[in-house]
Structure 1
Amino acid sequence: MSTPRPAADIMVTRLVTLGPDVPVIEGIARLLKSNITGAPVHDSTRSFLGVFSEKCCLNVLSLAVDHADEVHSSAPQCRARDFMARKLLTLRPNMDVFDAIGLLLKNRISGAPVVDEAGKFLGVFSEKTSMKVVIESAYAQLPTAEVGAFMNDDPHRTIDEQTDLPTIVHLFLSTPYRRLVVLRGNRAVGQISRRDALRAGFPLLGKLAASEQEAAAIPADHRDSLADCPTTAPLAAFMDRNARTVDEDMDLVSLANIFLQTNYRRLPVLRDRRLVGQISRRDLLKAAHQMMAVAPSTRESNLLYLSSLTPREEAPIA
């Protein structure tokens, strides 16, 4: 097998980044505005400090929700039906995995429900499960090319329309999933991503941040428990300081293995501890899909050589 392409060939260098002293609510707003799932944090010399991700944001939202419940115990709850995405791209279990990956990339989504002909929910095919496709394809050992063999059918990633926001936030924090499928009976009627939950909870964060700023002007011995929800704290207090990083020489198959074996969706690329780029699951799939999405008659031989991927234009962070 030829030497697989290194991270330097597929990494993205135009990044949205954050400083450690940015107020956490501003960091969350930046991710939502940029429509991204996380951003590297570095200092003024670009020395890498950590990653501020959607999961970090959900920790903040969890504190905010708990605090709001204490202060306003009778406040109406936001439920799944109120903010779920109702227009879904669905896949069939017998669909070709390479075509399914192409649909995820084309629609800029990281996963989709898999349903049978009657519309019954079977599982989810995602960027993460696609990593197994990439790895097995690299050695031409793909047991089948159907979506059903690679989907995730964990029942804990489903909820119903009445599930409230605090429960949804807890599920995202206690599971590795980035989306929860909303079921009515056994049929998928919606989907909620981590980003959807953050958007639904962001108004609450804004209200608490404003209250915190007002409380800061009050003498310490007269303040209430607003400090228990530090939405104006620097994001360094919530960022992932132990985020996995890679160097520019790591090959594509090794990167796919990391994405498959861990919950990371992006890997900062460092040179001498300084941030030089980033590779997301989507970046890797874009590179691999150029080679995988070929005619069936030539697919098997081409899959042996991940290094045969042609260079791509640098894409904005996704």
Structure 2
Amino acid sequence: MQLAKDIMTAEVITVSPDLPVEKLASLLWERRISGAPVVDEQGELVGVVTESDLIDQAKKLHIPTAIAVLEAVIYLERGRKVEEELNKMAGSTVKDICTTKPATVAPDTPLDEIATVMAEKHLHTLPVMDRGKLVGVVGKADVIRALINK
């Protein structure tokens, strides 16, 4: 069984939380990658940003469904989710649009677990962490390549 360390990209392209969204889009396009870990000035992982985060900026705002009962308005969706969507759509830097507290895997995580996490959580990019240090990244293309080369 292949492990994360066997399929990961070890030379990780990372981005700063303060990188402008326009520069992020250019970087992802030029490097032909679907996402990147976000690291702070100390090199600590603080999030992950993907093409989906960029696409979210261009989508239409979903107006939450509400019902009126005895002059009270009850929203059927959490206001927090709508607030997050608005912030993401208006974001100008990576920190505004990235996913904080991202899912990660260890170097010895088996391929089937990686695929399961990606599928169940709808993820494109998984940082590989070893003792708190970013050592690689596994993208969808890495999983597909591993499946072809089984």
Letter in 1 for 2:44: S
Is 1:11–1:278's contact at 8 Å kept on the other side of the alignment? Answer: yes
Secondary structure of the residue that 1:55 maps to in structure 2?
helix
Kindly report which structure 2 residues correspond to 1:128-277, keeping only aligned pairs within 5 A, or say none.
Answer: 230=90, 233-277=92-136
Is 1:7–1:279's contact at 8 Å kept on the other side of the alignment? Answer: yes
Match of 2:15 in 1: 18
Kindly report which structure 2 residues correspond to 1:283-294, keeping only aligned pairs within 5 A, or say none.
Answer: 283-291=142-150
Task: Please report the RMSD computed on the Cα atoms of aligned residues, expressed in angstroms.
Answer: 2.1
Secondary structure of the residue that 1:246 maps to in structure 2?
coil
Q: Distance in 1 between matches of 2:19 and 2:25?
A: 10
Shift in Å at residue 284 of structure 1? Answer: 1.9
Match of 1:282 in 2: 141
% identity of equivalent residues: 26
Letter in 1 for 2:29: L
Q: Distance in 1 between matches of 2:145 and 2:29?
A: 23
Letter in 2 for 1:265: H
The structure carrying a bigger helix percent of its residues is: 1
Letter in 2 for 1:258: V
Shift in Å at residue 230 of structure 1? Answer: 4.6
Is structure 2 residue 57 aligned with structure 1 residue 60? yes
Greater Rg over alpha carbons, structure:
1
CA displacement 1:63-104 (0-9 Å, x = unmatched) = xx78xxxxxxxxxxxxxxxxxxxxxxxxxxxxxxxxxxxxxx
Letter in 2 for 1:31: L
Match of 1:47 in 2: 44
Q: Distance in 1 between matches of 2:14 and 2:139?
A: 14
Q: Distance in 2 between matches of 1:60 and 1:13?
A: 30
**Aligned positions, number:** 123
Is 1:42–1:275's contact at 8 Å kept on the other side of the alignment? Answer: no
Q: Distance in 1 between matches of 2:21 and 2:99?
A: 13
Which sections of structure 1, spanning at least 5 residues, go unmatched? 67-228, 292-318
CA displacement 1:219-262 (0-9 Å, x = unmatched) = xxxxxxxxxx756x321011111321111111112112222322
The structure carrying a bigger strand percent of its residues is: 2
Match of 1:129 in 2: none
Secondary structure of the residue that 1:33 maps to in structure 2?
helix
Which sections of structure 2, spanning at least 5 residues, go unmatched? 62-88
Q: Distance in 2 between matches of 1:282 and 1:6?
A: 15
Match of 1:37 in 2: 34
Q: Distance in 2 between matches of 1:230 and 1:284?
A: 32
Q: Distance in 1 between matches of 2:107 and 2:22?
A: 32
Letter in 1 for 2:34: T
Is 2:50–2:124's contact at 8 Å kept on the other side of the alignment? Answer: no
Letter in 1 for 2:148: H
TM-score (norm 2): 0.71
